[in-house]
Structure 1
């Protein structure tokens, strides 16, 4: 039975699958690649034969690397029809992002007599043996170096980095800048009405990011968006390199809500992009406001210029990636090579198939952006405004010079710190954010004790409180809250 992939047939309905596509510009058509990726889990347990139709001459992009596994691929084979110079053939070249694919090299096809054979014949991928654990091709010293790199780049290294930053900031640098006793005295002197005000703005901030998730994932309810946001934020704020684990938490929860991997990836990608664009925009706007009220600062001006340049570059990259396929492929290829180099330095596996993933993201995102770019922009801006209002309320209630600081100057300090922590070194930028806020506030005339007091209250409401609330959200989700019921057989 021949069924077009556009109909998205369920592989579970068949005993075997023959999947193929025409070849254009050295790759399968988007519809076939999308189907293979979306249904990878269902295809893993079936006999699968891949075929391609089109020229198989020199490829316009580098060949996949040889596999390091000595296991046979989970499909029956791969055939190819079309013209080929000198009898050249490829046994298979499915994208590496397909979990059931194998990596294989391009080599001349030969018959039993050693002569070139025609295209379309079944070939087995060339395999290479796997070295025993702990054995390196470059000798014991290289193995030891690899082990050290893996250790430093793993959980132990991340935890050590987090502890070191926190100790240096809170035990070394901050006591030289501010008096903890004075700061705590200002905090304990808050009145009941001031506590109520801080509580209200803190709650508004906690729920302010949910609208961005709703805008990026059509069909997502506010309750589920809030549940996923609280849980992922708690993970990001509590675990070393928590951003990656937070993304994984969001993906798992979206899957339980009934969203496909493609929709989940699009939602996470768009929220991250729009959030970063707002972070890059705010220093430019805040500098303009500072100039209007007559509080220019060299540091703020430098941050605004850097933010403006990064904003222009980010918008240019985004437009190129989403509107021009070839430009997107080049950008993804360059980023993949850079990430591969960095991964190799710390003993990690190099990433693969970024061009294919960007292509899928581009196709899936353009239609949504045509209708929802305004909602995405307003939601992202609203979440940052809610966070800034918490800082402003802390400054107003702590008293002293902090209560007299113009809001636009406070916005400039807030924007610079958000720009500094755009790549968090510690969970929730713990230590780094506090130091940046206190340094920025003291630079614009706020007393050190007042700045430290305001920042401590601000971080309590925006960093600490989110951890127990997110843990509660995660527990509720684990017990079934928000999950889509799975129909029985």
Structure 2
């Protein structure tokens, strides 16, 4: 993949004038425009998004999950957790929280672990705690990175790369889930077609992405084809105008090509590590609530969890809350795991991986604001 993104290997059809701007510094306004970042929360979108999310979650947790799980049995399993199981779960959660601080360190040259931890945890709280808070989350990430002396260009590249790689990993995990179920000896034949489709989509997406990064001329071609498709769809719905996809594709390439060509491997490994660390919380929860009855095999639980990650791509609730849970519990019970046990493991996993991050993210946001004000006052005193 690195060779595909190398500037030195660009084909003859590349536009050298346009591409020479790749490493040029951009202004703060340009950076925010490229990200689509917001400096504040859109109250109307937040209210509408919040209502939709609450209604959806109410349906999932009060109607859907009771059909496939068992809350009463889940409560019994959770109450039976031993002290050792709780301590083990806490240890795994701490490991996950530690690993969660690395994505922006991997994607931002010169960024310390402490600052990378603050940026990612703050973003989690905003994106997962505020309905329709995605744009504000991007703005917060940008503000934090630039406050740590990261240039607008580097900040935009880091945010763009981590976002794109997160989508790649979300598409990659279900494929590994089907493989895990097959290796575990469970009948995963019903998911082979979906796995093959997932592999095709993932490979196609990666190839298109590499093609875009190879040269700006390629980016214009891909954008032009996308514009034709999007324009046709909009016309079918009676719309006279459609988004300028070409401009967005070129912006994406401009933002991240230099970073990705040098750091694609470490960004990939870190993103996979974050996802697998979150799974470790689920399996620790499963082992803990299973007690003396014995936990299901790691591969079986992983397969169900990994396939369920597709729920993240359904943009109704933040982080796949509700959708992932329903799919995962349904898969577990279909493979013979007790419904109460599956529900208990899911609830403990959600509580352990969601609540601590929301709280820590809030602390990070308040600490960052305090630290920025402190540094400003210090700079003012030095200048006086």
The structural deviation recorded for 1:293 is 2.8
Aligned position for 2:288: 397
The aligned counterpart of 2:273 is 382
> Does 1:307 find its partner at 2:296?
no
How far residue 33 of structure 1 moved from its aligned partner, in angstroms, is 9.3
TM-score (norm 2): 0.81
Q: Evaluate the alpha carbon distance shift between residue 487 and residue 404 of structure 1 in structure 2; reply closer, same or farther with a 3 A threshold.
A: closer
- Aligned equivalent of 2:27, options 18, 38, 49: 38
More strand by share: 1
Alpha-carbon contact 1:256-1:483 (below 8 Å) kept: no
Q: Is 1:237 aligned with 2:128?
A: yes
- Where do 5+ consecutive residues of structure 2 fail to align? 1-12, 37-41
1:206–1:424 Cα change, 3 Å: farther
2:307 matched to which residue of 1?
416
Contact 2:283 2:298 in 1 (8 A): yes
Counterpart residue number, 1:49: none
- Displacement of 1:364 after TM fit? 5.2
**Match of 2:169?**
278
TM-score normalised to structure 1 length:
0.65
Partner Cα separation in structure 1 for residue 133 and residue 22 of structure 2: 31
2:91 maps to what in 1?
200
Q: Is the 8 A contact 1:395 1:403 kept in 2?
A: no
Higher relative contact order, structure no. (Cα contacts within 8 Å, ≥ 6 residues apart): 2
Gaps in structure 1 of 5+ consecutive residues: 1-23, 42-95, 100-149
Decide whether the 8 Å contact of 1:332 with 1:355 is kept in 2: yes
Q: Is the 8 A contact 2:26 2:152 kept in 1?
A: no
Q: Structure 1 residues 272, 26: CA separation in 2 closer, same or farther (over 3 Å shift)?
A: closer
For the aligned residue pairs, the C-alpha RMSD in angstroms reads 3.5
The residue number in structure 1 matching 2:74 is 183
Q: Which residue of 2 aligns with 1:52?
A: none
> Equivalent residue for 1:325?
216
Matched-pair contact (CA < 8 Å) for 1:236–1:242: yes
CA shift for structure 1 position 31: 5.3
The residue that corresponds to 1:365 in the other structure is 256
> Are 1:154 and 2:45 counterparts?
yes
Aligned equivalents of 2:293 and 2:134: distance in 1?
A: 32
User: How big is each residue's C-alpha offset from its partner over 1:141-181, in whole Å with a ceiling of 9 and x where there is no partner?
Assistant: xxxxxxxxx99x83333122101111111111222222212
- Tell whether 2:54 aligns with 1:163: yes
Instruction: Please give the alpha-carbon distance, in whole angstroms, between the structure 2 residues aligned to 1:295 and 1:211.
Output: 35
Residues 463, 36 of structure 1: alpha-carbon distance in 2 compared, 3 angstrom cutoff? closer
Report how many aligned residue pairs link the two structures.
Answer: 356
| Segment drifting more, 445-454 vs 276-285 | 276-285
1:376 Cα shift? Answer: 1.4
The CA distance in 2 between the partners of 1:40 and 1:235, in whole Å, is 22
Q: How far apart, in 2, do the equivalents of 1:155 and 1:304 lie?
A: 35
> Which of 400, 408, 431 is the matching residue for 2:322?
431
The Cα of 1:468 is off from its aligned counterpart by 1.4
Aligned match of 2:7: none
CA contact (8 A) 2:131 2:318 kept: yes
Aligned to 2:117: 226
Q: Which has the higher helix share?
A: 2
